[in-house]
Structure 1
Amino acid sequence: MPVTEPDIVGELQEREPSGYLLASVRGVGQVDLQPLIWTGLVILAALWSAGWEIGLFATLGTLVSTATAYALGVDRSNIVLGLQGYSGCLTGIALVISLGHHPATYVLAVTGAVLCTVLTATLTTLLGPYGLTALTAPFCLVSGVMVLGAPSFSRIWNGAPKQVSSPTSGETAISWDDLWHAFFTNVSQVFLVDEWYVGLIMLVGLALAGVRVVLFAAAGSVVSIVAAWALGAPTEQIREGIYGYNAVLVAIALGAVFLSGTVANGAYALFGAVASTGLTASLTSFFKPFGGHTFTWPFILTTWALMAAVPLLPRLRRSD
């Protein structure tokens, strides 16, 4: 995710191995497109509060992806901003949630993190001419393939995995308790966690990155709740953040990172958040017959589509 902070690059390049550790922490923050070290630390703390297994595999995936980038000679300015660690972070979490905690999961998490770094380079090369970035596509591709293939291997598969991002039919009436839970779990589900207090801690981390960042995260969460409810989505799925986490990412990406801070750009970002909410249900129905997972595909596809249109929309402006 192309967030740049030139003033920190030279500083971190001079410090090894502390530079590697700081780059890894930034990689956690870059899941939400934020390179600030304090944002990464707060989000990492939130993940450990969700459970030691989630915290451990998030940390492992980020460390391995970042180390792989160093080993393969990826541009240092890219590494130190955390741009090589975020897909590995999400892959580690997805694998331990889907496959359970056992030795084979560690092997897959390490392998997946390495593959994420390679795929990041591949997608950056392919998408560069169009002014697009890989976003979390390496995570979706690697985790999707690994989780889908796991039942074929008895040393990996421990039975039915926990459900990850899978909207279903159900009750559509919504209460105040459902609403405030959804507001926070929309943020935590970016990391595949459905605990409201984890989302609250993560919002604190996003606030440290700037008012604009946290406001668009909050706005994305709110509009996704309204859109999902208006479309008749099941209340339990709204409460768990299943329909909202992609909207949070889209709102941050378009409203606070890729586009400048104009009214038109803000409206465009919230439009994208609503679109990703509907796309979540569509992609889940697409993946369901063969056991695939939605993960962050709605965020990726929505952001790619809307950013690809920007050059032909004169009222919209990319960030400098």
Structure 2
Amino acid sequence: MPPLPTSHPALQSLRALLCGFAQIFLQQHPGCGLLVLLAILIGAPDLLTGALLGGLTSMLIARRRGYPPADIAIGLYGYNGILLGLLLSLKLPWTPLLPLLIITSAALSSLLLAPWMRCMRKHGWLPAFTFPFVLLGWLLLTLVAQLELPLATPASAPGAPELNALQLMLVVLRGLGQVIFLDSPLAGLCLLIGLRLADSRTALWALVGSSSGSALALFYGWPSDGALAGLYGYNATLAAIVLAQAYRCPLVPAVGILLALLLQPGFSALGLPALTMPFILACWLVKASARSWQQAMKSNASS
């Protein structure tokens, strides 16, 4: 039976949008993206509208600017906008200002990403990952604080449960969910299934990253409420996924997990929300070190 045609513009847009959701976890599988969307619907349905608005805006701007269609099709001009929509919907109540901020920031994320990708391909820059989201997120959160805008009412945090095998499993799932600001273990399970659908090895490393980050945080006595909510697992999860895809040696993602965890507390000292910057810095450090090592080996071989 021949595959269903996807040449219709509406189907192409839907596929690109779903790939944008998948690209949050460095995947380009629309089925994975659908499960990421479902996880948001399960864990925080009030964030879904902002996520969709951010993803559609960033994709539309990329098309209007004539960015490479292949990049748009695999969701590269969607995930930063989606994350910005999630962040703003989490922090602000739904007022006429909220969609305006989401649309503006999502559009800017595509405008920032495009020249970075050109430099990456032409001049060997390191990948941007979620840096447009982090940079714009910091600026927006600072703006919100300076203007003293009303904030959304945060969900009440549950009391610290007794640690047992089941609770530790739930912490690992929360670590997956916190990549998209969700603390629901069921949403984390949905994300894990989506990653398994895209690539079983990626799903395994995501589990390793989340469990390692949370376990190390608990071992070193960092705030238990944050550790049990999965807040020390999500950067380690992303670092594990990226570095396991790029390097076959398991030591490399292990180093990335450790770096992401060690870098995260520093942002609190700076008065900045960590967002996904520890993951970005960990991957940049590992990739830059690997590149320098390869260049040094080539120089030694040629001398």
Match 1:283 to one of 251, 254, 267? 267
* TM-superposition CA deviations, 1:32-62 (whole Å, max 9, x none): 0000010000111111112322111111111
Q: Which has the larger radius of gyration?
A: 2
Tell whether 2:122 aligns with 1:135.
Answer: no
Structure 2: stretches of 5+ with no match in the other structure: 295-303
CA distance in 1: counterparts of 2:206 and 2:99, whole angstroms: 32
CA distance in 2: counterparts of 1:120 and 1:161, whole angstroms: 32
Equivalent residues of 1:27, 1:82 under 8 A apart = yes
1:15-30 aligned within 5 A: 15-30=8-23
Equivalent position of 1:37 in the other structure: 30
CA distance in 1: counterparts of 2:154 and 2:266, whole angstroms: 21
Aligned residues: 287
Equivalent position of 1:148 in the other structure: 142
1:1-320 aligned within 5 A: 14-128=7-121, 129-153=123-147, 157-159=149-151, 162=154, 174-256=163-245, 258-259=246-247, 262=248, 264=249, 266-286=250-270, 288=271, 292-313=272-293
Query: 1:161: how far off?
Result: 6.8
Q: Name whichever of 85-94 and 17-26 sits farther off.
A: 17-26
CA distance in 2: counterparts of 1:41 and 1:94, whole angstroms: 19
The alignment yields a C-alpha RMSD, in angstroms, of 2.3
Letter in 2 for 1:114: A
Letter in 2 for 1:20: S
Query: 1:282: how far off?
Result: 1.4
CA distance in 2: counterparts of 1:120 and 1:284, whole angstroms: 26
CA distance in 1: counterparts of 2:119 and 2:175, whole angstroms: 31
* TM-superposition CA deviations, 1:79-99 (whole Å, max 9, x none): 101011000000000001112
* TM-superposition CA deviations, 1:227-278 (whole Å, max 9, x none): 212221122111111111000000000002x23xx3x2x2110221121011
Structure 1: stretches of 5+ with no match in the other structure: 1-10, 164-170, 315-320
Equivalent residues of 2:183, 2:229 under 8 A apart = yes
CA distance in 1: counterparts of 2:286 and 2:208, whole angstroms: 18
CA distance in 2: counterparts of 1:135 and 1:160, whole angstroms: 28
CA distance in 2: counterparts of 1:301 and 1:194, whole angstroms: 24
